Structures are given as structure tokens and as C-alpha cells.
Amino acid sequence: MSAVRRLVLASGSMVRARLLRDAGLDFDVVPSSVDEDDIKRTQQGLDTESLALVLARAKAREISQIRPKDLVIGADQILDCEGARFDKPKDKTEAASHLRRLNGRPHRLVTACTIYCGCSEVWKHESAPRLTMRSYDESFIETYLTRAGDGVLTSVGAYQLEGLGAHLFDTIEGDYFTILGLPLLSLLAFLRTRGLLVL
């Protein structure tokens, strides 16, 4: 196989890009156009872990077809609370509904990440951090959503742990980077094997 030219993030997520950038990586951003809603509809019978991996693979595979010599990162997260799956809220009203349903309860943030090269999977990682929301009232939800702004619409749980979202939780079990969107430590370990890191 010819030498890998570039690392490519098949996602428009600013958080994922920031994690890679802050770790000193040089990469291109080429967001996938995969229809996630269609995949979720056609794969309803899959468990949450399998569905997250199917979505991550679809994103990486799509971009790998146009960047076959490069390492393409695809990732996906699905919030699972006692069997109910949450998508990113469409607006503040739906974000408030999410927060009410999660209030005082634990949930899993099922995360899948994969890397494709030459349209074949060369690495994958799956994990499911467990997060428990603290109990809060309607006044807190209103204040939180007002102060947090539209950023909550980019998170499946209507929270951003790296910001005001930290106030929502009692306990967190799992890797911080994974919760933000990428299993960064495992990803870096793999990239070292490909000679893409200087550290």
C-alpha cells in the first residue's frame, strides 16, 4: 500500500476537531453527508452499540471512497437512557424535554470510532461511559439553557461537559475525551503505529 498522505476527520463536529488540534495533530476536515436518520430508521433492530458503530463506519467509509490513501476518522455517539435513545435536540424546547427525562437518572453515552484506509477498516474503538444527572428543577433547566445558548443543540444530551454542562452531573464513569466525542488516548496510540505523531 502506498504511504498514507493525510489524516481526515469525517465530521463537522467542532469539538472533535478541537480535540485533535489541541493534541497537535495535522488533519483535514471533510464532513460526511451520510443520512443518519435514514440509517437509524433502517437499522432499528440493532442494539445501541452496534448502531453507533454502523453510523461511524458509514461516515468513514463514505469519505474514504474519495480519500482512499488517507486515514479517515468516523465517529458517532448515541445517548441511551434505560433503553430510550436520544438524538440531538432540534430546538431549546426539545432540549428542555431531554433534560427533564434525564433528570436524576443515569445514562450511557455509547461511543464508536473507526478509521478507514483504502475503503477498509483498519481500527475501531467502542465504549460506553456512564453519566448520572443530578436532580434539578424547572428553574434550573430554564437558567441553564439560557446561559448555555445554542451550543446545547450540538449535544445528544443537551449538555456540553466541557462547559456549563458540568453542572448537570452527580457522577461520571468513563473517559473524558470519549464523552466529548473521541476516544483520544486510544486514537493517539493507534496513530503512533502509523508514524503520524511526533510525540
**Domain positions in the chain:** 7-193
The pTM assigned to this predicted structure is: 0.92
* 2 pLDDT above the threshold of 60: no
Three cell numbers, residue 50 = 452496534
76, 80, 87, 170: the active-site residue: 76
The confidence score (pLDDT) of residue 3 equals 60
- Containing 189, the helix (H) or strand (E) segment is helix 184-193
Closest Cα to residue 12, out of 181, 131, 184?
181
Write down the residue that cell numbers 467509509 correspond to.
61
Contact 165, 99 (CB under 8 A): no
160 band by pLDDT with thresholds 50, 70 and 90: confident
How many whole angstroms separate alpha carbon 117 and alpha carbon 72? 6
198 band by pLDDT with thresholds 50, 70 and 90: low
Confirm whether 76 is a catalytic residue: yes
Domain covering 7-193: architecture: Alpha-Beta Complex (3.90)
DSSP letter, residue 104: T
Question: Other C-beta atoms within 10 Å of 51: how many?
Answer: 21
The stretch 103-112 carries a mean pLDDT of 97
β-partners of residue 76 are 112
Three cell numbers, residue 132 = 448520572
The confidence score (pLDDT) of residue 149 equals 93
62 band by pLDDT with thresholds 50, 70 and 90: very high
Q: Tens digit of pLDDT for each residue in 122-142?
A: 999 999 999 999 999 999 999
Question: What average pLDDT does the chain have?
Answer: 94
The stretch 73-82 carries a mean pLDDT of 96
Cα(first)–Cα(last) distance of the chain, in Å?
25
Q: Which residues of 9-40 are buried (b: 16+ CB within 10 A; e: fewer)?
A: bbbebebbbebbeebebebeebebebeeeebb
Question: Other C-beta atoms within 10 Å of 142: how many?
Answer: 13
* 72 pLDDT above the threshold of 50: yes
The confidence score (pLDDT) of residue 1 equals 43
